[in-house]
Structure 1
Amino acid sequence: MTLGEGFVPCVGGLAYDDAGRLLLVQRANDPGQGLWSLPGGRVEPGEDDAAALVREMVEETGLLVLPGDLVGRVHRGTYEIADYRCRVVGGSLRAGDDALDARWCDATSLLELPLVPLLLETLREWDALPR
């Protein structure tokens, strides 16, 4: 699949802990400032999706990940986001660059958070909700 013309390429990570909880960050900046979302961000020039995902996950969450399979792509405004499953292989969870907070969320806590638009619906569509 090729990047849509005029869209800014971005990546997002779907990381789960051993209990099946999903990693989310509270966005520090627009779009979605103050709302909870998957960690991720822009693909920088010269980066492939895997390198961008590793960099963004460390910057936003303090966790080192191993990128896995593409789960899906979404368009949000001018952004085209490729979302990948990833496995945490190191680091310590902390809110970092572009994140006010970072946490593991189970199915109940996910429903209690103010989420970015369409996140819940997209996770359902991808069969990617936390346990």
Structure 2
Amino acid sequence: MSTDRRGSGRPLVPCVGAIVHDARGRLLLVRRRNDPGRGLWSVPGGRVEAGESVAAAVEREVLEETGLRVRSGAVVGRLRIDAGEVVYAVEDLACTLLDPGAPPVAGDDADDVTFADATALAGLSCTPRLVETLRGWGVLPG
């Protein structure tokens, strides 16, 4: 863990997020069981463990939170989330489903999981700036 280079001196926690679309173009989302964002919808993701690559972390997080196996791809965007005592440095990666027919099942830090199209996404309570950020990266569901 390093410190925030923007001068806050707070610990910088490396994290990942997964941008996963199914064959219909829907986006994989989880409803967060824990803070930050408890009860809100977001992309699967979490902390990068010590000695773990970003690719391994995103694949592990998707499996733990949704039961789905993915292969990590390119970074689609980066952001920082101010969480009070720490700053989360998040890299979101495009991921490909390895078993496209497998149903997602909530687990670990998620209390629900879904593939959402644009209409469904509009009706969900999402984490702050999720939709705007994904729109800016061009990865919203069709």
- Interval of TM-score (by shorter of Structure 1 and Structure 2): over 0.9
Match of residue 84 from structure 1: 93
Residue segments in structure 1 that go unaligned for 5+ positions in a row: none
| Corresponding position: 1:18 with 2:29 | no
Match of residue 30 from structure 1: 35
Partner SS state of residue 114, structure 1: coil
- Which TM-score applies when normalising by structure 1? 0.95
CA separation in 2, counterparts of 1:107 and 1:4? 34
Q: Find 2:63's aligned residue among 54, 58, 65.
A: 58
CA RMSD in angstroms comes to 1.2
CA separation in 1, counterparts of 2:125 and 2:140? 16
Q: Find 1:40's aligned residue among 14, 21, 45.
A: 45
Q: Give the drift of 1:7.
A: 1.2
CA separation in 2, counterparts of 1:84 and 1:93? 19
CA separation in 2, counterparts of 1:26 and 1:84? 19
Residue segments in structure 2 that go unaligned for 5+ positions in a row: 6-10
Q: Find 1:109's aligned residue among 101, 114, 120.
A: 120
CA separation in 1, counterparts of 2:75 and 2:97? 16
CA separation in 2, counterparts of 1:100 and 1:93? 12
CA separation in 2, counterparts of 1:58 and 1:92? 12
Q: Give the drift of 1:92.
A: 3.7
Aligned residues: percent identity? 52
CA separation in 1, counterparts of 2:134 and 2:27? 10
Could you tell me which amino acid in structure 2 is paired with residue 86 of structure 1? C
CA separation in 1, counterparts of 2:29 and 2:57? 17
Q: Give the drift of 1:45.
A: 0.2
Partner SS state of residue 69, structure 2: strand
Q: Give the drift of 1:4.
A: 4.8
- Which TM-score applies when normalising by structure 2? 0.88
CA separation in 1, counterparts of 2:62 and 2:140? 19
Q: Give the drift of 1:38.
A: 0.4
* Superposed CA offset, 1:82-125 (max 9, x none): 00000010354100100010000000100100000000100110
Q: Give the drift of 1:61.
A: 0.4
